[in-house]
A and B are shown apart, each in its own frame.
Chain A
């Protein structure tokens, strides 16, 4: 291990070496297969619990709601933990600074597309949206490209993407990612074309900013594993109440919502269902992971895919708190364009998928 050699020779006094990857991560060798075994037996267990142990009838509303919850709650939590572990590990290789430098000076549609894709995986704390925005614009990332990044980041959530993959299969996951990237691409491209640079708040271009050239100490694999474990603790610890609430709503819909009525409200035939889904989604502010159990139940009850996608995107991409934060750097005119363009993109996705699926 070259790292170990370097450490042993660089400093005069030999420091106790940080534990290696296998010492820190060896337990994963046992934990991962165990995860799959438990995951496999969740459904029979939930059915046994609801129908045999609690004695509920499989055809009753309460019975099917309870079975849905007992199956979905542990399933989604387990899936979430595994997904966050993997995603956070991969994200230790990506940083906003690197993304920024790749996007700098990249004008034109390719820049927008690249930014929309990078928006999915680049990790950043939502509270640093404003400095990030300024940092991007100030090193020469075109405004429209910056917007493609900022729209795609919340809209295509990397954790939600892999949850969808685990719950619904690759087709739905791919549709989610590609339509989200599409909307982010389009929104940024339009904003770029409208040449709205003058609608930034003046201080954005005036404050002192020269990107740091700091080289961070290289991370070892065991450091990255530590960060990934920390990510699991942090994200699962924060998200689980939303998830359980989402699953409870989902279970209620699954057991009690009459299928015929749901299909009429959220089915393809109702042209107004897409704008309605967006209207309901905007004031709701939830983590993408919390929306997924609701989405799952809605789809099961005959809601149209386009309508459900529109709902999900409206919940995650357009939110009041985010708009208030952006008001610090954008003038009202640009905010209005941002909201209008993103909303239009979401509606387009909704109608498009209702038409072709």
Chain B
């Protein structure tokens, strides 16, 4: 599973990455985290409010940092 964190690297993006990692680990998933930091790359994905998260290339959320619990539900689906 490829988890992408879209964001320019502000504290909220780091927090989202941390939460996503915790959630993936709690589910025992095999995952890889990639950070997309350049604005043109972020916007090419249709995102304008960061941080955002995509799973296997599909955009799942944008503009906020959910709790580990609801991220786990999102990754499970």
Residues of chain A touching chain B, judged by Cβ–Cβ distance below 8 Å, are 15, 18, 92, 95-97, 100, 123-128, 130-132, 134-136, 203, 207-214, 216-217, 223, 226-227, 230, 328
Contact B12 A211 (CB under 8 A): no
Q: Which of B10, B39, B70 contacts A223 (CB 8 A)?
A: B70
A192–B45 Cα distance when bound, in Å, is 29
Complex contacts, A211 vs chain B, CB 8 Å:
46, 48
Instruction: Name A92's closest neighbour in chain B (CB-CB).
Output: B64
Give the CA-CA distance A226 to B72 in the complex, in Å: 14
Please, which residue of chain B has its CB at the minimum distance from the CB of A124?
B49
Task: Determine the distance from Cα of A207 to Cα of B7 in the docked complex, in whole angstroms.
Answer: 17
Contacts of B51 in A (CB 8 A): 125, 128
> Are A130 and B39 interface neighbours, CB within 8 A?
yes
Q: Would A97 and B48 be within 8 Å (CB), given that A134-B43, A203-B40, A223-B70 are in contact? A: yes
Are B42 and A131 in contact, CB atoms less than 8 angstroms apart? yes
Which of A15, A209, A213, A227 is B67 in contact with, Cβ under 8 Å?
A227
Q: Contacts A128-B8, A217-B74 known; A96 to B48 CB distance under 8 Å?
A: yes
B44-77, CB < 8 A from A? 44-51, 59-67, 69-70, 73-74, 76-77
Known: A127-B12, A214-B60, A223-B70. A208 touches B49 (CB 8 A): no
Residues of B at under 8 Å CB distance from A? 7-10, 12-13, 39-40, 42-51, 59-67, 69-70, 73-74, 76-77
- Nearest A residue (CB) for B65: A230
Q: Which residues of A contact B73 (CB under 8 A)?
A: 18, 217
- Does A123 contact B48, Cβ atoms closer than 8 Å? no
Distance of A205 from chain B, by nearest CB (Å): 12
Whether A227 pairs with B50 at a CB distance below 8 angstroms is no
Are A131 and B48 in contact, CB atoms less than 8 angstroms apart?
yes
Inside 8 A of B9's CB, which chain A residues have their CB?
127
The 7 A-B residue pairs whose C-beta atoms are closest, nearest first, are A135-B48, A212-B46, A127-B10, A128-B50, A208-B44, A209-B43, A96-B49
Contact sample, A vs B, 7 pairs, CB 8 Å cutoff: A18-B70, A97-B49, A97-B63, A128-B51, A128-B63, A135-B49, A208-B44
Distance between Cα atoms of A15 and B69 in the complex (Å): 13
Point out the residue from A127, A134, A209, A230 that lies within 8 Å of B8, measured CB to CB: A127
